[in-house]
Structure 1
Amino acid sequence: MRVFVTGATGFIGSAVVPELLSAGHEVVGLARSDASARALAAAGAEVHRGDLEDPDSLRAGAAGADGVIHLGFIHDFDRFDASVRADRAAIETLGAVLEGSGRPLVIASGTLGIAPGRVATELIPFDAKGHPRLANALVALSLKDRGVRSAAVRLAPSVHGEGDHGFVRRLVEIAGEKGVSGHVGDGSNRWSAVHRMDAARLFRLALESAPAGSILHGVAEEAVTIRTLAEAIATRLKLPLTSIPPEAATEHFGWLGAFLGFDQPASSALTQQRMGWRPTHPGLIQDVVAGWYA
């Protein structure tokens, strides 16, 4: 297949591109900058210049493709609402090009907030009243009624591995800044996790064979307690472990404090059964201990 990929040079996209190429697909990656263009060319992908706020570039990329993987998002928290609107417009633009063709559109979403305090499964639908990006996922899945083989991959809140700059990276940085590795309360709350290379393989499988309207879970580890994660960071950085009271979480962890106390386990049992996907790469604690985040 000839696959158009947005966000192709991001943390996950840079794993998806070689995964697709190694499976024999052609990859056309959206590149906004010269640096992104060079990275795509070095990886063996075709470069398509444009950006998420340029609908003409999105139309042209999708028009010449047999399928689309949409991973791009404008990560600017100072204009988050505008970023969400741009993401929705991008999905609508890509969907309009693919309409009636049966071609796949696979988007990235998340398990965070899907089912607080219980194990989230693929059977739990998106709730547009939740996180603003969830409504965008519903737009993508609704394209199945317009002849698009759309699917959403809900990723664990920790997508980890070398080069990670997300939640875990920030948690390690905070530990270094504060001189202690902290968790909220007793740290018994749980997060799911997945290695970026395992996530990349799932995106490929979704592109190749996920039925229209599929919700898939990119989750390798169902429940890693935040205390276990904090202990691993403490061990790696040789710092003391400490409990942060919930009322002080924002002061200690900054913006991460709003998420770190959540209990967010998630299962991928149905995804593994339906897609034949088996995570094989190191777990979150193994990656922390290995030193990628030190």
Structure 2
Amino acid sequence: MRVFVTGATGFVGAAVVRELLDAGHQVLGLARSDPSAATLTATGAEVHRGTLEDLDSLRAGAALADGVIHTAFIHDFTQFQNSVAVDLRAIETIAQTLAGTDRPFVISSGTPGVAGGMATEDTIPAPGTPAAARGGAEEAVLAFADRGVRGSVVRLPRSVHGEGDHHGFVSRLIDIARERGVSAYPGDGANAWPAVHRLDAALLYRLALEHAPAGSRLHAVGDEGIPVRRLAERIGKHLNLPVTSIPVEHAVEHFGWLGPIFAMDAPASSASTQKLMDWHPVRPGLLADLDAGHYFTG
């Protein structure tokens, strides 16, 4: 299968590209710069120049492919609503291009939080949450099931971790601990933080492309919910810094834009996904990945 991949040189997208190529697929990767194009060429993928905002380039890439995996997202959380709007336009454009072809289209979203409970694949995000902001993209692609697109959603948890993660939430928490001289957590630190290794996530994207029924919501979750206190303790141990609690109301002051996310209780299950897709995460969990040391070098 020839697969058009957006975000093909990103942390998740690069792993997806490698997974596809190793499974015998061809990859047409979206690249916005010469360095990105060179990276794709070096992996053995084809290059398609363009950006998320260039809708003509997205139409052309989708038209050339037997299926599409959309991992790109503008990770500027200071302008999150703009990022969501760009994402939605890109998804609608690609879906319209694939309409009537029965080709697969896999998009990315986030696992939602559930007050006092565990998020499942059937959970609809609560209004006003970051997951709800991306819910429009989920609904957009799934609506095309009746228009000849085998659309599915891979929901990613708070952390997609692994070697080479320099810009994710955990990397930012480590940077904040270094800057502040303390590894902190909000409140009692019992709120749950779900995670997945990026190689486990990449496998699920490929399986979704190949097999997911139209309208599927899938959870790429390995760790259902690690207490954030344990994350702070691991970070403090590796940086040789004290570990302390801060009041929840001071989370934004201490962690900046990451504060509300770090303070959120958001356990998520992938039980239904594992059964439906015969997908089972086998890579190291987040705490083991932190203990491997690569997050603290360089």
Shorter-chain TM-score bucket reads over 0.9
TM-score (structure 1 length as normaliser): 0.96
Q: Does 1:103 find its partner at 2:103?
A: yes
CA contact (8 A) 2:112 2:125 kept: no
Matched ranges for 1:149-228 at <5 A: 149-164=150-165, 165-228=167-230
- Measure the CA separation in 2 of the matches of 1:124 and 1:237: 37
Q: How many correspondences in the alignment?
A: 293
- Measure the CA separation in 2 of the matches of 1:150 and 1:182: 40
Shift of 1:78: 4.8
Shift of 1:96: 0.9
Distance 1:212 1:227, change over 3 A: same
Residue 264 of structure 2 aligns to a residue whose secondary structure is coil
Distance 1:229 1:127, change over 3 A: closer
- Name the counterpart of 2:84: 84
Residue 42 of structure 2 aligns to a residue whose secondary structure is helix
Instruction: Among all aligned residue pairs of Structure 1 and Structure 2, give the percentage whose two residues are the same amino acid.
Output: 61
CA contact (8 A) 1:128 1:135 kept: no
Deviation digits for residues 26-46 of structure 1, max 9, x if unmatched? 000000000110110011100
- Measure the CA separation in 1 of the matches of 2:260 and 2:124: 23
Q: Does 1:147 find its partner at 2:148?
A: yes
Shift of 1:149: 0.3
CA contact (8 A) 1:155 1:219 kept: yes
CA root-mean-square deviation: 1.3
Q: Does 1:257 find its partner at 2:259?
A: yes
CA contact (8 A) 2:91 2:140 kept: yes
CA contact (8 A) 2:70 2:107 kept: yes
Shift of 1:77: 3.8
- Measure the CA separation in 2 of the matches of 1:44 and 1:26: 9
CA contact (8 A) 2:106 2:151 kept: yes
Deviation digits for residues 40-98 of structure 1, max 9, x if unmatched? 00111000011111111111111111100011112234543332222111111101111
- Measure the CA separation in 2 of the matches of 1:78 and 1:170: 14
Shift of 1:240: 1.0
TM-score (structure 2 length as normaliser): 0.95
Shift of 1:117: 2.8
- Measure the CA separation in 2 of the matches of 1:208 and 1:7: 19
Shift of 1:129: 5.9
Q: Which amino acid aligns with 1:150?
A: G
- Measure the CA separation in 1 of the matches of 2:23 and 2:125: 31
Residue 159 of structure 1 aligns to a residue whose secondary structure is strand
- Name the counterpart of 2:67: 67
Moved over 4 A (4+): 126-130
CA contact (8 A) 2:112 2:123 kept: no
- Give structure 2 stretches of 5+ with no counterpart: none
Instruction: Give the one of 238, 248, 256 matched to 1:236.
Output: 238
- Measure the CA separation in 1 of the matches of 2:146 and 2:12: 28
Matched ranges for 1:265-284 at <5 A: 265-284=267-286
- Measure the CA separation in 2 of the matches of 1:39 and 1:49: 13
CA contact (8 A) 2:112 2:124 kept: no
Shift of 1:143: 1.0
